[in-house]
Each structure stands twice: as structure tokens, then as C-alpha cells.
Amino acid sequence: MNQQNLKLCSEIIDDKYVKIASNSLNAKEKLFKLLLSQRQLPEEGFDDLTIEYLLNIFATMDTNNFVNKVGVGERESRIFSALVQKRNYYMGHGIGRSGDLIASQPKAAGSSLIAKLTKHLAKDALKLSNYQINELLIVPVATGMALSLCLLTLKSLKPQAKYVLWPRIDQKTCLKCIQTANLIPIVIETMIQDHVVTTNLDILIQKINEIGPDNIVCVLSTTSCFAPRIPDNIGEIAKICKQFQIYHVVNNAYGIQCNKIANSINQGLAQGTVNLIVSSSDKNFMVPVGGALIYGNDKKLIKQISELYPGRASAAPILDLFITFLSMGRSGYLQLQKERVENYIYFKEKLQIITQKISEQILNTPKNSISIGISLKNQKIDQNNQDEKNQITKLGAILYSKKVMGSRVITNKKNKIVCGIEFKNYGSHCDNYFTPYITVACAIGLTKQEIDTFVQEFEKAYTQNT
């Protein structure tokens, strides 16, 4: 509300009350000024009323909310349902234009501002997470499709190449993103070192020499994975890619929250080739599924990805991220990261007590500081049930029935065909792991109460299934 309107308010109610209210409004305007000028996460998170106030201002800047506007185009942000309007804060134009995902829209100044500001806030969040990058693109698709966009862009720059070298990690998305880009995956098998499953870099080099660098679109490495798999050695893979002049894409789905992974990627950026890094918005910033971050230091390449995207796109994932960044603030985000590290230590301590009681062990994978594996070598096998797999996976079903979500039971007895490729012992990231096991993740937002509940329910379920 401008000063003229405030003066008019003083003619209706006592002037001293209007002055007090004016101070409150001015305080909010100062917050908005800092946001627009600094383009960083606010030091302290905004309250919900302040965020909604700002969103309403931006929504008013979009043409669909103009007073007495007339829209005669085929797309005028006409929204039938009032509920859908409210859900989107009265913004319906989406983001981008037909030629560029990050282009501003003439009809949507407010929505365009949100998209641009969210990019700045995401870059600030990455900086707080120790990532040394200078360019970023937020895409309204989840990690798998974001990886496909990266691969399609690289393919356009190297049209004669058709292979993607992919260190094995047993997650379907990794293969499907290659298939979606109409490329051929070459699986780089892993090796086992004590409890750890890791990429065999000698085989990676061997495959590059066999296929030839000119025929390879890129290496697709992975940092965030389920134990006993550990993150790929990004520094060493980056050096190999630099040596052979091959593009390198890093699937960093939920690695933003982990400083060890940030250090590994920074090493790769500094010493070798890391062209593109892809991370999930929901797994790292606690928003609904549907968005991803593509980032790195090659501004031209990331610009090409934004220009590859066909048509406009949904603004919903960007709006969710914008609201969340304003709500968290720098202090809230850093506190969540601090708590995650503390909870990881706490989780392992609690599991250590239980595994000793049930004569199992925590798998020793110190380079994976998000996922934890617990052996299930002593789970009793029903002699009348020849299907060992079903007996062991019953443990997961018991936990699920107790509303324990997210744990994964791996039997080492399951072969699976994914995208036409057969994998032995699918789920364990290798052909011959020495024990069945269960994995859990200490991700951002996990609470100590959830850890305590899991540990209690796991002990009960383990005993029940033995």
C-alpha cells in the first residue's frame, strides 16, 4: 500500500494506528527489497503471511490478473477451477517460451520474476553446500528426464556418437534416461572391496579404448546411491574424461545435501572434465516431486539445454522451490544440513547396538555418508519354502505394514532385465555380493524420532522373521 493510500486510511481510523501498521508494511517491503537486490536466500526464513503477500504481488503482475483485461489468444491462463487457481496462486502462464525455457514472458512478468529469482536462490543454496559452480538451470521434470535432456543436448553436439558409458548402479532411472535419449548404454561392472561396491576404473578405460572416444557421447557417473555401493570417484573419472576428451555427466540425484560429495565434484571440476551435474529438487530441498537442477561451469552448454526444451513448461516445481527457499532461509537450510550429519552418526550408533544384539553387522561403507546397509545373513530360511528371496523380503513387508517406508531389502537372488540388459543379483549393484542386506537412508529432513521408531520396528520385524 503506497503512502497516498495510507494517508487516506488515516482519514478513516486514528492516524497513530495507521502509522504502526505502516511500519509493519515497510518492514515487509525492506525484506522484498533485499531479496530483489541481493538475490540470495534470506538470512532468516519468511513467515507464511509474508510469502503469500509477495506471491500475490507477483501474481498481480501477470496479465491474466489485470483489471478489465481482454484475452483473445489461444492461451490466456484461463483456469476453470477456483481451487486450481488458489493452488497456483493465480499464476497460470508457466515458464519459458517456445524457443527457450528461461526466456521471460511478455504476459507474465510476475511468473518470470519468480523463475529468475528461484535460479538465484538455488545457486546460493549450492554455494552454501560448497558447490563451486557458476551456472544453473531449473527444469520442471524429475531427475531421469533431466538427465535425458542433458544426453540429448550432448548427442546433438556429437551426432556420430551413440554410446554412454555407465558405471553400474542398480536404479532403473539411470538406464531409462539413456534409452529415452535413443543412446546405447555400456555397463561398466563394479568390483567389491571388503564391504564396498565401487566402479572398476580399469574397465572404464578399457571400454573407452575398445569403443573409441569419438563414438562415446559421455560417461554417466553417479554420486548418490544405496549402500554398499559408494559414490563414484568423480575426481578420477573426470581426469579420465579429460584425457580422452569425453563429455561427463554426473547423476547427483540427492547429493547436494552431502559435503563429501560436493568435495568430490569440486575436485572433478577443478582437475578434469565435469560438464553437467543433475540433482533432484524434492530429494534435496523437501518439495514435491517434479523438478530438477542442471548445473556446472559451462554456461553455453546449459543454455543449449534450455533452448532444447520444446515449448513452455509448468511453473509449479519452480514455484514450490521458490516458496521453500523463502521459508527455509539460509539459517534454516544450514540447520537442516547440520542435523542430517548429526543424525547420520546417531543412526549408525543406534543400529550398531541392534546389530550386535541380533548378530548382524553394519556394512562398512565410509564413503557413503547418506545410505547405510545392514547385513541379513542370519535371517532364517524356511526349509519348506524353496524361495529364499520371498522369505527374506518378507522382512520388508513386515516393516511396511508397520508404516516404515523407504528401507530396501536386497536378497542377492534376483536377476532382472532392464532396458534389454540382464543384471545378475539386481539391486546389489554387483553380481556376487556376500550377504543379503537392508538399506536405509539418512536424508535431509529425517528426525531422531523417526530413527528411534525405525530401530524399534526393525528389531521386532527381524525377530518375527527369524
E-strand stretches of 171-229 = 184-188, 190-193, 196-199, 216-222
Give phi and psi for 181, each to the nearest 5. Answer: -80, 5
Average pLDDT across the chain, whole number = 94
CB 444 within 8 A of CB 258: no
3-state helix, strand, coil in the chain (%, to 5): 50, 15, 35
What pLDDT, in 10s, does the model give residues 287-309? 999 999 999 999 999 999 999 99
CB 173 within 8 A of CB 143: yes
- Helices then strands (H, E): number in the chain? 15, 14
pLDDT score of 69 = 87
267-299 burial by CB neighbour count: b if 16+ within 10 A, else e? bbbeebbbbbbbbbbbbbbbbeebbbbbbbbbe
Q: Give the C-alpha distances (Å, rounded to integers) separating 253 from 118, 191, 223, 350.
A: 19, 22, 8, 27
Three-state DSSP at 53 gives helix
Give the containing element (helix H, strand E) for 422.
strand 421-423
CB 101 within 8 A of CB 149: no
CA dihedral of 378, 379, 380, 385, whole degrees rounded to 10:
-140
In the chain, % of residues over pLDDT 90: 88
pLDDT score of 381 = 56
What pLDDT, in 10s, does the model give residues 319-361? 999 999 999 999 999 999 999 999 999 999 999 999 999 999 9
Q: How far is it between the farthest Cα atoms of the chain?
A: 88
108-146 burial by CB neighbour count: b if 16+ within 10 A, else e? bbbbbbbbebbbbbbbbbbeebbbebebbbbbbbbbbbb
Q: Look up the pTM and report it.
A: 0.94
Nearest in space to 215 (alpha carbons), one of 159, 269, 268, 264: 159
pLDDT score of 383 = 46
Q: How confident is the model at residue 261 (pLDDT cuts 50, 70, 90)?
A: very high
Q: Give the C-alpha distances (Å, rounded to integers) separating 389 from 382, 415, 424.
A: 11, 11, 14
29-55 burial by CB neighbour count: b if 16+ within 10 A, else e? eebeeebeeeebbbeebbeeebbebbb
Nearest in space to 293 (alpha carbons), one of 88, 104, 127, 51: 127
What pLDDT, in 10s, does the model give residues 406-456? 999 999 878 899 999 999 999 999 999 999 999 999 999 999 999 999 999
* The C-alpha cell that represents 276 in the structure block: 553437467
| DSSP string covering 304-372 | HHHHHS-S-B--HHHHHHHHHHHHHHHHHHHHHHHHHHHHHHHHHHHHHHHHHHTT--B---TT-SSEE
The DSSP secondary-structure symbol of 272 reads S
What pLDDT, in 10s, does the model give residues 94-149? 998 877 899 998 899 999 999 999 999 999 999 999 999 999 999 999 999 999 99
Residue 385 in this model has a pLDDT that exceeds 90: no
